[in-house]
Chains A and B, each alone.
Chain A
C-alpha cells in the first residue's frame, strides 16, 4: 500500500508580518501570496502589531528583530507574557539579519519557534512553515520562561548533504551560524 501523499494548504492560514522596512514587508507578503496565503496583515511597529492581534486571529507571526522603539524580542515577550495578549501560544518566526550565536539563543529564550536569517528565499520561508505545521511543540512555563519547549525534538535522520548544500545556496549558511545550527539551538 502506498504512503498517503500529504501537502500543505497555507491558504487556510492568517499571517501577520511585522517589519519596520516596507520593502521587506512587501517582499514577505509577495512570497506568502505566491505560496497560497490569502489572509495577510502587516504592521510597521510592535505596538501596531500588538493592537492588530486584538482583532486579527493570526495563526503565524513573522517578526523582524531590529526595530524601534520596541524591537522584535520585546514584541515576542509581549505576545508570550502580556496579560492582554490575544494568543500567547501563536507560532512565531523571527526574521532577521542577525545570525550570531548569542542572538539566536536570545530569540529562543524570548519564545520564538523558528529563526529565519535574511537574505530570505521562498524555499527557506516555506520550510519554516512546514516545520511549525509538522512539529507542534508543547509549551513550558518555568519561573523564568514561558514559550515553546526549547529541548531538541527527535526528528528522525539527520539532514542530508544535499539539503545543507541547498541551504548554503539559499544564503542560510553565510556569516554566523548555519541554519541547521540555528535549528539545533531552537530545539526544532
Chain B
C-alpha cells in the first residue's frame, strides 16, 4: 500500500453556490448579520456579570488554596471566553483583559504550582479591571480610562514576571 493515499471526495457544498466562478459576498446579508450581532450583544453587560462572579469565586478558591487546579481551569476558561466575546460585542477592552489573563495563566497552568501572592494580585487586578470596564460602560477601546486600565495590568504582569525570574 502506498504511504500516501489521495481521496477525491464529492463536492457536497456545490449546492451552496449558484453560478460559476468566484462567488460574491451578499452585502445585504452581511449588513443584516452585523445588525444581528449588535442586537445580540445588547445583553452582554448583563450576562457577563455571571462570568465576573464566577471569576471572583475561582480567585477566592485559589487564594484559599482550595482545589487550585480546578479553580485555575475555571479562571482560564472564563478569561478565554471573555477574550473571544468582548470585542464581538463592542467591548474591545474586555477582550484585551481576557487575552492578558490567558497569556499570564498559560505558563502558570503548565507549571501546576500554587500561585504566589503577587500572582494572585495579578488575577485580582484582571477581575477588577473587567468589572470596571462593564460598570463604567467602556465600549470600543475604552478611551483614556480603558487604556489606563490596560497599562496598569501590563505593569503588574511585568512585575510578577520579574519576580518569578528568568
Contacts and interface: CB of A to CB of B under 8 A. Distances in A.
B34 interface: yes
B9 interface: yes
Nearest to A118: B84
Contact of A7 (B4, B26, B32): B26
Interface in B87-102: 87-88, 92, 95, 98-99, 102
A4 interface: yes
A53 interface: no
A60 B19 CA distance: 21
A30 B40 contact: yes
Interface stretch (B10-18, B115-123, B124-132): B10-18
Interface residues of A, number: 55
B18 A122 contact: no
B163 interface: no
B23 A120 contact: no
Interface string B13-37: 1111111111111100110111111
Contacts of B34: 121-122
Given A119-B87, A123-B30, A138 B6 contact: yes
A187 interface: no
Nearest to B76: A66
Interface of B: 3-9, 11-26, 29-30, 32-37, 39-41, 44, 47, 73, 77, 80-81, 83-88, 92, 95, 98-99, 102-103
